[in-house]
Amino acid sequence: MKAVILAGGRGSRLRPLTDVVPKPMIEVHGKPVMQYVVEGLVAAKITDIAVALCYLPEAVEGYFGDGSALGARMRYFVESAPLGTAGAVKAAEEFLDEPFVVASADAFTDMDFSALCERHISGGLPVTIAVAKADDVSQLGAVKVSGGKVVALTEKSGVKESGLVSMGIYCLDPSVLSLIPPGQKYDFAKDLFPRLLGKMGAHLTDCRWCDVGTPQSLAQASAAPRS
């Protein structure tokens, strides 16, 4: 397995903090939030990692370097303009010659990536989405699952109800890359996954997970125990 970490977002909801610090480099418990993702991947023996960058790329690359300090081999792909989540992965296509994990750099998580990969391999589907239970799905990507497959996706419905949500962590076969147009903005949740409903597996996990994209969620992550 290989991995792609999406680390190009501007983090506009965290301004003015992100005017000088890119969102992946925001610290939680004394280290950049992206480091938790890298450490989780390495713990699962996923050490070949592509990093998709756009906003303030030098800050991320300068800190992580070649990844060797964390037991990884990291390669950087810098976008001249935002390509969206799927478009950024498409830009790293030459690197992705085997099944791979996609994870956001701004997720504070202790995700068991090994379990996700095992679920993907055993499921035999081109995409596996990590999902979690949530008391309120109104501002998240709600997911409906039937027979272990994702059958519906709803982005930020505004309806306060409990349910399953996408964690923004996926495992994909390289064949999926042929469905993503090159050189243009294209998103997994908005553009690609609606085309694959019924053909994607769901991996339910109860791991710790918090997107640090807002001041409220950053405070929540910072208040959480270290482990």
Asked if residue 202 is part of any domain, the answer here is no
Is residue 40, in this structure, part of any structural domain at all? yes
How high is the pLDDT of residue 138? 61
**Exposed / middle / buried, residue 23 (Cβ in 10 Å: 0-12, 13-18, 19+):** buried
Instruction: For residue 218, name the pLDDT band (cuts at 50, 70, 90).
Output: low
Inside any domain, residue 206: no
Residue 220 lies in a domain: no
Tell me the per-residue pLDDT of 127-175, one tens digit each, with 9 for 90 and over.
999 998 877 766 677 889 999 999 988 877 666 767 788 888 999 999 9
Answer yes or no: is 84 within a domain: yes
* pLDDT of 44 above 60: yes
Question: Does the residue 149 lie in any domain?
Answer: no
Q: Is the pTM of this model over 0.75?
A: yes
Q: For Cα atoms 143, 28, 62, give the angle at the middle one, nearest 5 degrees.
A: 100
Structure confidence at residue 207 as a pLDDT band (50, 70, 90): confident
Looking at per-residue pLDDT, the higher value among 121 and 220 belongs to: 121
CATH assignment of the domain containing 123? 3.90.550.10
The answer, yes or no, to whether residue 27 has pLDDT greater than 70, is: yes
222 in a domain, yes or no?
A: no
Structural domain range at position 191: 2-128+169-197
One-character DSSP codes across 131-174: EEEES--TTSEEEEEETTEEEEEEE-------EEEEEEEEEE-G
Number of folded domains that form the chain? 1
